Structure 1
Amino acid sequence: MLRAFAPAAPGQRGLQEPPSGRPGRRRTATGPWWKADARSDPWRDPYAPAGLGAPAVYPPSPEEQSGPIVVDDRGRTKVRLRDLSVRLSALVLLAVLLVGAIGGGVGWWLTRATPESPLLSPGTTLTQVDPGITREPGSVSAIAAEVMPAVVSIEVRVGEAGATGSGVVIDGDDGYIVTNNHVVSGADGVDGAEIRAVFSDGSGSDARIVGRDPASDLAVIKVEKPELVTATLGESDNVAVGDPVVAIGSPLGLAGTVTSGIVSALERPVRLAGEGSDTNAVISAVQTDAPINPGNSGGALVDATGALVGINTAIASLGGNGTSGGSIGLGFAIPIDTVRDIAEQLISTGSAVHSSLGVNARSVTDGTRDGALVLNVEPGSAAAAAGIRERDVIIEVAGDRVGSSEELVVAVDRFAPGEEITIEVVRGGESQELRATLDAA
C-alpha cells in the first residue's frame, strides 16, 4: 500500500504519479468543468490541500434561553409556563372563563326556549297491524277450539273439604260425562256431598254419580243440561308412538288449560292407587310427555284430529305415588277402547265386570328372565282349577310375555270372563303350559 500510494519523494504532496511516470492531464481553464476555485476543491482536484472548516454551532440550552418560548436540543418549540407574565396568565384564565360562561349561557337559553311536551295525550291510538293469521287444521289452537267445549271442570265438596278434577262429555244428549273414579269416589254415598260440573262457557250444573269402577279408575256422572257438545271418540289401534297429542283439563284448578306433546309409549302397565279413594287398578296406559298435573285427572287426551284417545289419570312423580307432585314429563292416560267399554257398562248397569285369574303375585327376575311370582291362589278360582300353585312363576299369558305382576293383571284383563286362555309357568326350574277359564270379578 505504501509503495503504491505514497508520495514519490520526500516533501512531495498529493498522490504518487502513475507507474508509467506520466502525470495525468491537468485540467485547464478552458476545460468544461474547470473553475477558478478548482485548485482548492478536493473533489475536483486530488492535489488540492485538505483543511477543517469552522466548528458546528449549537443553539443554547433551554436553561440559557430567556422568555416563555424556548427551543430544545432537537429544535422543538416549547412554552415555559414559569416565564409567563402575570398579565398573560390572567388573560388566558379570563379567556377560559369567558368561553365557559358563554357555553353555559347558550345551553341554559336553549333548554328554556324549548318547552317540555305534555305528559298525557288524551285520545292517542297506537298503530295496529293485521297480519291475517291463519290457523291450519290440526294445529294445537284448532284442536283446542274444537275439543274445549266438551271438557268440563269437576268440583267435589264433602263437608269442609273440596277437590277438583276434569271430565269429558261422552253423551251430550243425555248429559253423561266420564272422569276418574278417584275424582268423585269421596262423594259417593256421603250425605251433603256435592258434585258440580263447570263448562267452558262458565255455566255449571249439579252432577250425580252414575257408576264407578275402582278396578279401572273410571267413573261416569250425569248432569241435567241439554245439548252438550260431545267429544269424538277415537280408537286405540290408531294411536302410535310419536303421534302428537293434546291434553285438556283443569290442572291445579286452572280450567281450560291446554298442553301438548307426543305419545311416548303404549301399553305401559301402571298401578294406580288414588289417595283417599278406593281405586286399586292396573291399566295398560298411553304414556305421553304432554305436561299433566293434579287436576288433569279425568280430562281429555286427544290426537291431531281432535279425537279422544285417552282419559288422563296419573303422572310419574318423584314422590312415587303418581297422584301428587308436579309434571316431570311423564303422564299416563287410560286408552279410549277401555274407556268406551267401561263407560258403556257403567251407563247400562252402574258397574263394570273384569276378568280374574284368582292369584296374588309380585314381580321377580332370575337375572335372565322376568315374571310374576304367585304368592297365593284363591280357593275355587280359575287359577286353582287350572292347577297353578304357590311359588309358580307365570311368564306368559295367551302367548304374550309377562315380566311383572302389573303385566299379568293387564294381560288377563284383555279377555272377557268365561274365556279359556293358556298360561305358561316355571315350576322347579322347568316350564309347563296350563289352561284356565277366567272368572268374573
Structure 2
Amino acid sequence: MTQKQITTTGIILIACVLVGALSGAIASVFTQRSLDTYLELLSDEQLVLTLSQVKPNPIPGTYEEALGRVVEAQDSLAWFYPAQEKSADPSSWVFASNSYGAGVVVTSDGWILVHDSVLPNTFSINDFSVLIAGEWYEPTEIIKDTRTEMKMVRIEASGLRVASFATSGEVQPGEFLFVLHNQEGVQVTSLLNQEWFVTDRAQRAEDYQRYWILQDDVEDGSVLFDSSGALLGINGSNKQTLPIQNLTLFIESVISNNATVYPALGVYVLSLEQGLNVDSAVLGASHGYMITSLPGYASAFVAKSPAKIAGLQNSDIIVSLGGVDVSSEYPLAKSLERYKVGEDIIVGVMRQGSYQEFTITLGEYNLLY
C-alpha cells in the first residue's frame, strides 16, 4: 500500500469515527427527548399524590390508588332518596341522579350524619328512604343541630360499615380531595389555600367561625374524603367545608343523650384576627374574641346569659378559657367543648387594657338561644 493510499484510508477511518460519534450524539439527544416525553406522559397518567408530611402515616401512591380507596369508602355512605324510589333499579343512571345527596354512617347500629341541604327541615321521616351498600332502610328519627346545620338520622340496622374519620384537621394546598354528593361519580378538588375562612360578623361564642374554602364549586351537603379514604368534612354553602373534628361533639351528644347538649356562654363575639381596624396596643390584646352585638342590637348578651351574670360587658375581649389562650388557631367554640353544662370555668378577659378573670357557670346552648 502506497503512502497516498495509507493517508486516504486514515482520513476515511477518522471520518467514519467522527460520523459515528456524531450519529451517537444525535441518537442520544433523540433518545433523551423520547425518554423525557415518555416520562412526561407517564407523569400525566400516573399522577403522584402530594401528601402532607404533618399527617400521621401519610399514604403515598397514585391518583388511581387514592380514588380506589375513596370508592371503597362509599360503603360507609348513606344515600337519601324519595320514599317512592325504593322500587326503582339502583343500577340505573336515572336512579342515581334522583338522590337527594349523601350522609355518613357514624355508628354500626344506624346513626347517620347529614347536612341540612340534603334533608331540609321540611322533611319528615316519611319523605325519604336510605340506601346503604345496596340495602334499603327506613328512618326512625331525625335530630337537628342548630350550631352546625347538620342532622343525625337514625335507622334500624346492625353491622354497618362506619366511616373512618381523618385524624388530622390539617390539609395542605395541592392535596387531592374527593367529593361525593350522589351516586353518579366522584369530583376531585383541593383547598383554595391554607387560610381559614373567618366570618366578618359577630356570632354566638359557641358556633364555629372557621371553614375550609375549596378550589372548585361543589354541591351543598356533599361529603369530602382525603386520599386515604378518610372522612375530612361536610360541605356547606359557598364552597365552605366544616371539618369533621368540628362535628364530633354533636355526634357524641346525640349518641349518648339522643339530643344535643352543649355548654354555652350566652354571648355574641367577633374574632380579633378578623381585623377590627383597631391597633392591638389600644385593645390590649392581639388575639381573642371581642364581645360585640349584632347589627341593630344594643346588647351582645342573650337573656339569662351566664357570661353577663358573671360580670362580663360589651367590648370585653375573651382571651382565655381555663388558662388556655383562645385564637383563630384554637377557636373559642372548640375550647368550650372541653367543658360540660353546669361546670364552672375561669375566663380571662382584657377590659380597657387591663387583664381580669371571671368565674362563669356554663349554661345549656339550646336553652339560651
**Structure 1 residues 204 and 168, CA, compared in 2 at 3 Å: closer, same or farther?**
same
Are positions 1:148 and 2:83 aligned together? no
Aligned residue identity for 1:235 = T
Query: Normalising by the residue count of structure 2, what TM-score does the alignment of the two structures yield?
Result: 0.59
Maintained 8 Å contact 1:271/1:281: no
SS at match of 1:184: coil
2:241 alignment partner AA: F
Query: Larger Cα Rg: Structure 1 or Structure 2?
Result: 1
Conserved? CA contact 2:198–2:211, under 8 Å? no
Per-residue deviation, 1:294: 2.7
Instruction: Say whether residues 1:385 and 2:318 are aligned partners.
Output: no
- Tell me the distance in 2 between the aligned counterparts of 1:205 and 1:410: 34
- How far off is 1:358 after superposition? 1.8
Q: Which AA in structure 1 matches 2:301? A: V
Q: Residue 384 of structure 1: CA displacement? A: 2.4
Alignment of 1:258 with 2:169, yes or no, is no
Aligned ranges 1:107-146 → 2 under 5 Å: 136=61, 139-146=65-72
Q: 1:211 to 1:286 in 2, by over 3 A?
A: same
Q: Measured at CA, do residues 226 and 411 of structure 1 come closer, stay the same or move farther in structure 2, by a change above 3 Å? A: closer
Is the CA contact 2:246–2:334 (under 8 Å) kept in the aligned structure 1?
A: no
Instruction: Confirm whether residue 207 of structure 1 aligns to residue 143 of structure 2.
Output: no
**Cα deviation code 1:255-314 (max 9, x no counterpart):** 443323258447655699xxxxxxx9832655153535234x1x432233222232x132
1:196 deviates by 2.0
How far did 1:215 drift?
1.5
In structure 2, the partner of 1:341 is 249
Which residue matches 1:301?
224
Q: 1: CA distance between counterparts of 2:195 and 2:128?
A: 32
CA–CA distance in 2 between the matches of 1:342 and 1:305?
A: 24
Q: Which residue of 1 aligns with 2:54?
A: none
CA distance in 2, matches of 1:340, 1:187: 25
Q: Does the 8 A contact of 1:241 with 1:263 survive in 2?
A: no
Counterpart contact for 1:246–1:290, Cα < 8 Å: no
Q: Distance in 2 between matches of 1:294 and 1:431?
A: 45
Q: Relative to structure 1, is the Cα distance of residues 356 and 271 closer, same or farther in structure 2, using a 3 angstrom cutoff? A: farther
Asked whether 1:166 is paired with 2:98, we answer: no
**Partners of 2:290 and 2:315 within 8 A in 1:** no
* 2:236 counterpart of 1:314: yes
Q: Aligned partners of 1:265, 1:408: CA distance in 2, in Å?
A: 20
Q: Distance in 1 between matches of 2:76 and 2:216?
A: 20
CA offsets 1:389-422 (integer angstroms, 9 cap, x no match): 234344554443457xx95545544543315132
- Aligned pair partner of 1:373 in 286, 291, 296: 291
Instruction: Name the amino acid aligned to 1:258.
Output: Q
8 Å CA contact 2:235, 2:241 repeated in 1: yes
TM-score normalized by the length of structure 1: 0.51
Quickly say closer, same or farther: Cα 1:359–1:170, change in 2 above 3 A.
closer
| 1:232 to 2:232 alignment | no
Q: Is the 8 A contact 2:199 2:209 kept in 1?
A: yes
Percent identity over paired residues: 16
1:356 shift after superposition = 0.9
Residue deviations 1:119-142 (CA, integer Å, cap 9, x gap): xxxxxxxxxxxxxx9995773322
Q: RCO greater where, 1 or 2, for CA within 8 Å and sep 6 or more?
A: 2
TM alignment of 1:27-426, pairs within 5 A: 136=61, 139-155=65-81, 164-172=100-108, 174-187=109-122, 190=124, 193-199=126-132, 201=134, 204-224=136-156, 227-236=159-168, 239-242=170-173, 244-250=175-181, 255-262=184-191, 264-265=193-194, 269=198, 282-283=207-208, 285=210, 287-289=212-214, 291-295=216-220, 297=221, 299-310=222-233, 312-316=234-238, 330-335=239-244, 337-362=245-270, 365-369=276-280, 371-374=289-292, 375-378=299-302, 380-397=304-321, 398-402=323-327, 408-413=332-337, 415-417=339-341, 418-426=343-351
**Does the CA contact (< 8 Å) of 1:356 and 1:439 recur in 2?**
yes
Question: What secondary structure, in the 3-state scheme, does the structure 2 residue paired with 1:305 have?
Answer: coil
- The answer (yes or no) to whether the contact 1:151–1:249 under 8 Å persists in 2 is no
Partner of 2:361: 437
Structure 2 residue runs without a partner (length 5+) = 1-44, 48-60, 84-97, 281-285, 293-298
**One-letter code aligned to 2:129:** R
Moved beyond 6 Å, runs of 4+ = none
Over the aligned positions, Cα root-mean-square deviation in angstroms equals 4.1
CA distance in 2, matches of 1:182, 1:438: 31
Distance change >3 Å, CA 303–CA 363, structure 1 → 2: closer
User: Following TM superposition, by how much is the alpha carbon of 1:220 offset from its aligned partner in structure 2, in angstroms?
Assistant: 1.6
CA distance in 2, matches of 1:229, 1:358: 38
How many residues of Structure 1 are paired with residues of Structure 2 in the alignment?
273
Deviation readout 1:95-149 (Å, 9 max, x if unpaired)? xxxxxxxxxxxxxxxxxxxxxxxxxxxxxxxxxxxxxx99957733222222122
Q: Secondary structure at the match of 2:152?
A: strand
CA contact (8 A) 1:166 1:179 kept: yes
Q: Decide whether the 8 Å contact of 1:151 with 1:168 is kept in 2.
A: yes
Deviation at 1:205, TM superposition (A): 3.3
